[in-house]
Chains A and B, each alone.
Chain A
Amino acid sequence: MSGSEDEGGEEYLFKIVIIGDSAVGKSNLLSRYARNEFNMHSKATIGVEFQTQCLEIDSKEVKAQIWDTAGQERFRAVTSAYYRGAVGALIVYDISRRTTFDSVGRWLDELKTHCDTTVAMMLVGNKCDLENIRAVSVDEGKSLAEAEGLFFMETSALDSTNVKTAFEMVIREIYTNVSRKVLNSETYKAELSVNRVSLVNNGASTSKQNQPYFSCCSR
């Protein structure tokens, strides 16, 4: 899991996390954006890992790896590992439930505690289709976003309002920052990136040894 990848093929891979209270619609936002699906029966998130979405910006292929919480936010049990290396974040609240808006500050604290690579953060007021039972005004959302230096958008995963726009705005903002190479602790992150070992897609190495100890050949 890396924050960004900038190599010869001019491909980018950005990790983005979605956070916020339970049942604000995080998973439906993701499934609407990635697969244009909406599930009306919203149980706690099970079985969802992340979705990878491709975008072309300035003739370059940009891949966004968007992570969902797997339900661990319900009792405040999101792992610190969840945040590792994220360059983008969507902090989601439900406009019809005031408590979810009041929790935004705590989610921001948690994000900043565990991650210092985030360059694009958006406050998302979801379920804007529930205008008749709105509990958080647009102005309140805007004000909090401005105070915290976040983008702001209201969305509806149910009727698709602003979903694509929200994600793509975050992705483009990440791209803009990365192409200007203004990532935090750039030198440090470069040091972190060198010589990583991933066990995934390492099948070729599983069964045979590349350089056996007792090899007849000298290294």
Chain B
Amino acid sequence: MTQPQDPFSYPPIDPVNFDLIIVGTALSESVIAAAASAVGKTILHLDPNSFYGSHFASLSLHDLTSYLSSPHSLPSAAATTTDSDDVVVIDFVQQPLCSDAEIATYDESAFLSENSRKFSIDLGGPKALFCADKTIDLLMKSGAAQYLEFKGIDESFVYEANAGLANVPDSRGSIFRDKKLSLKEKNQLMRFFKLVQQHLDDTQEEKIPEEDLEIAFVSFLEKMKLPPKIKSILLYAIAMLDYDQDNNEVCIELLKTKDGIDSLALYSSSVGRFPNAPGALLYPIYGEGELPQAFCRRAAVKGCIYVLRMSVVSLLMDKVTGSYKGVRLASGQDLYSHQLILDPSFMIPSPLSSSPRDFPSEKLQMLGQRDIKGMVARGICITRSSIKPDVSNCSVVYPPRSLYPEQLTSIKALQIGSNLAVCPAGTFILYFSTMCNDADEGKKLLKAAMNALLTLPVSGNSESIPSVQSDSEDIKPIVLWSAFYIQKLIMCKLEFISSTPTPDGNLNYDDLLDATRKLFNQMYPDEEFFPKSTSPEDPTDEDDNGLTLDS
């Protein structure tokens, strides 16, 4: 982050009335800014940070360290309210989404420091897009795609206990080339895929029976007599499930067969969709932080006003009706809008210590209640070598119980190399994430996953000798730097003030963008989400789109 400048040096924001004020530039906020701008709403879009993306940002190494080490948190006191002519002023508190951060530099600290700006590290990683994701269609439909470029993730692996990395068989050719699958397993897999293909093919009459579609996918796979190894690949590496489907007591989300088939369909239609991307996954060049920026640029082109380094300090409510009226900026300026969207880190603590007589304060109580739906534990490592020789970018899934018997959740990992402009040449960034109930559990899971593939020095001073992994000739990459942190999963909605979803544990963005679209539809039920702009009033768009050239 550049040295923070006095926000009061900004000129006052003009006009002061908007259809919508948005605080925070995470992916959901940015998509809504673009969608609302596209239908003519006047919008003010703010971010307290000096960078775009909020908790979906991609940051330099130094900025990431600063962000995780000292998250901005205003003192968490009871909310104070002050009286004014016609509004009640209620102060916000800001509670960071990230907590329990542990950061360690093990080696080459001078190199890392000198090259800090060559890193572009995702706060919400691991994140990628399936080539057939709805997110891809949204990028095209909204016009944000013209600001982005991607590369394919070369390989997808699944971690197997005592065996290391195995390829995820994602095509007929890869199944037969696979050296770890037995011939019997290959035939079983091909038969299963053929069954799924026939089910999805509208011209075929042979379908999976309706009663099978309603049972648990894991039960369906057992019914198909698929061996545990293949079941595991289908459930966790292709359908990307988080929770152990074989553990009925603990499994939070038991997937139905019909949803499992949909996941297979998404995966299969992703493989080879784009030239230059033979696998199922894409990753944006320069990191996931490019996605919110693309939507913000789109909104700005349509007239949305952007302000960075500007926080909101208070909510302005109508004294009589208790309705939302506007916000007070850190600069002291009051601005008004019909609707407000808040970054999920902003809230009003309850109870209110004092409120004017007869003020309907029950509406405010709801603002203080956040629906925390769980936690994501995230880990990041920087290494000098790849977890797989000759592979720069790859994804890894650790199925439940692949690391230790009590491991109840999947762990997702993603390695990105310098050919995606996220780190200096000769280095790699690895992202890990898993769902968890508390920080200790989450970190234990992540460290087990890291230790399976990487060498984590015990302390920064120890002379670490590379250890050879059993059953493999590969030498484990040595970690130069690592970070662990916990992100809360939050979602809530009020009638005139909305809060956007936080980064979830999914590898892709579709669930998040589904929630974003629903939010947009709730706010603007009569407006279309990114209508096709064939209007002659937008000749610039058509001209420029036509002028865009691929490299």
**In the bound complex, how far is the Cα of B52 from the Cα of A13, in angstroms?**
27
Are A47 and B549 in contact, CB atoms less than 8 angstroms apart?
no
The number of chain B residues touching the other chain, given as a range, is: 35 or more
Query: A146 an interface residue at 8 Å Cβ cutoff?
Result: no
B290 near A81 (CB under 8 angstroms)? Answer: yes
A84 within 8 A of B: yes
Is A218 part of the contact surface with B, judged by Cβ < 8 Å? yes
Of the listed stretches A65-73, A132-140, A154-162, A169-177, chain B binds A65-73
Cβ–Cβ < 8 Å partners of B10 in chain A: 75-76
Contact, CB under 8 Å: B136 / A75:
no
For residue B535, give the distance in angstroms from its CB to the closest CB of chain A.
Answer: 12
Q: Given A76-B308, A81-B286, A210-B273, answer yes or no on A199-B544 (Cβ-Cβ < 8 Å).
A: no
| Interface bits B529-551 vs A (CB < 8 Å: 1, else 0) | 00000000010110011011111
Instruction: Specify the chain B residue showing the minimal Cβ separation from A217.
Output: B172
A214-B273 in contact given A2-B551, A81-B147 (Cβ < 8 Å): no
Whether a CB of chain A sits under 8 angstroms from the CB of B301 is: yes
A71 to B300, CA, bound (A): 7
Within 8 Å CB of B152, what residues of A? 195, 197
Contact B172 A215 (CB under 8 A): yes
B197 to chain A minimum Cβ distance, whole angstroms, is 4
| B297 contacts the other chain (CB 8 A) | yes
Residue from B52, B193, B293, B418 in contact with A188 in the complex, judged by beta carbons closer than 8 Å: B418
Answer yes or no: A57 CB below 8 A from chain B CBs.
no
For A203, give the chain B residue with the smallest CB separation: B140
Do A195 and B276 have beta carbons less than 8 Å apart? Answer: yes
- Say yes or no: is A147 at the interface (Cβ < 8 Å to chain B): no
Give A205 to B193 CA distance when docked, in angstroms: 23
Q: How far is the CB of B190 from chain A (nearest CB, A)?
A: 10
At the interface, yes or no: B171 with Cβ under 8 Å from chain A? Answer: yes
Residue B347 is within 8 A (CB to CB) of chain A in the complex: no
- Mind listing 13 A-B residue pairs with CB under 8 Å? A49-B301, A72-B306, A75-B13, A81-B297, A110-B2, A113-B117, A188-B425, A197-B274, A200-B146, A200-B548, A209-B273, A210-B272, A213-B269
> Is B316 located at the chain interface by the 8 A CB criterion?
no
Known: A49-B544, A218-B172. A192 touches B421 (CB 8 A): yes
Q: In the complex, A76 Cα to B4 Cα: how many Å?
A: 12
Known: A49-B301, A188-B425, A197-B276. A214 touches B172 (CB 8 A): yes
Q: A72-B297, A211-B271, A218-B173 are in contact. Are A197 and B277 (CB under 8 A)?
A: yes
Residues of B within 8 A of A218 (CB): 172-173, 176
- Contact assessment for B172 and A199 in the assembled complex, using a CB-CB cutoff below 8 Å: no
Q: Is the Cβ of B51 less than 8 Å from the Cβ of A80?
A: yes
Complex interface bits, A188-207 against B, C-beta within 8 A gives 1, otherwise 0: 10011111111111100110
Main secondary structure on A side of the interface with B: loop
Kindly list chain B residues whose C-beta atoms are within 8 Å of the C-beta of A46: 301-303
Q: B130 CB to closest chain A CB, in angstroms?
A: 12
**B545 adjacent to A213 (CB under 8 Å):** no
Is residue B419 contacting chain A, with contact meaning CB distance below 8 A?
yes
- Interface of B, helix, strand, loop or mixed by DSSP: mixed
Judged by a CB distance under 8 angstroms, whether A79 is at the interface is: yes
B residues neighboring A (CB under 8 Å) = 2, 5, 10, 13, 47, 51-52, 117, 136-137, 139-140, 145-152, 170-174, 176, 193-194, 196-197, 267-269, 271-278, 282, 285-286, 289-290, 293-294, 296-297, 300-303, 305-310, 418-421, 425, 538, 540-541, 544-545, 547-551
Q: Are A194 and B419 in contact (CB under 8 A)?
A: yes
Evaluate whether A75 and B551 lie within 8 angstroms (CB atoms) in the complex, with A197-B276, A199-B150, A218-B176 already known. Answer: no
Q: How many contacts A-B (CB < 8 Å)?
A: 185
Contact assessment for A70 and B150 in the assembled complex, using a CB-CB cutoff below 8 Å: no
Q: Which residues of B contact A101 (CB under 8 A)?
A: none
Within 8 A of B (CB), among A1-35: 1-2, 5, 13
- Are the C-beta atoms of A70 and B418 separated by less than 8 Å? no
By a CB distance below 8 angstroms, the chain A residues around B418 are 188, 191
A213 is contacted by which of B170, B285, B286, B309 (Cβ under 8 Å)? B170
Instruction: List A contacts of B278 (CB < 8 A).
Output: 211
For the complex formed, measure the closest distance between the CB of B90 and the CB atoms of chain A, giving whole angstroms: 25
B58 to chain A: closest residue by CB: A80
A104–chain B nearest beta-carbon distance, Å: 16
Please give the distance in Å from B278's CB to the nearest CB on chain A.
8
Q: Is the CB of B276 within 8 A of A211?
A: no
A211 to chain B, nearest CB (A): 3
- Of B2, B151, B193, B549, which one neighbours A196 at CB under 8 angstroms? B151
Are the C-beta atoms of A212 and B269 separated by less than 8 Å? yes
A13 to B418 alpha-carbon distance, docked (Å): 23
Residues of A within 8 A of B294 (CB): 81
Closest Cβ of chain B to A62, distance in Å, is 12
Contact B145 A199 (CB under 8 A): yes
Inside 8 A of A38's CB, which chain B residues have their CB?
Answer: none
A77 within 8 A of B: yes
* With known contacts A81-B147, A199-B139, A201-B548, A212–B419 Cβ distance under 8 A: no
A75 near B544 with CB under 8 A, answer no
Q: Using Cβ atoms and an 8 Å threshold, which residues of chain A touch B550? A: 196, 198, 200-201
* Set of chain B residues within 8 Å of A216, measured between Cβ atoms: 172
- Closest 4 A-B residue pairs measured CB to CB? A213-B268, A211-B272, A2-B551, A77-B306
CA distance in complex: A214, B272 (Å):
11
Q: Chain A's nearest CB lies how many Å from the CB of B186?
A: 12
Assess whether A151 is interfacial by the CB under 8 Å rule: no
Given the known interface contacts A72-B300, A75-B13, A218-B176, the answer about A80 and B425 at a Cβ–Cβ threshold of 8 Å is no
Q: Is A48 an interface residue (CB 8 A)?
A: yes
Q: Is the CB of A210 within 8 A of B275?
A: yes
- Shortest C-beta distance, A28 to chain B (Å), equals 15
Asked if A74 CB lies within 8 Å of chain B CBs, one says yes
Contact of B271 among A75, A195, A199, A213 (CB under 8 A): A213
A196, closest chain B residue (CB): B149
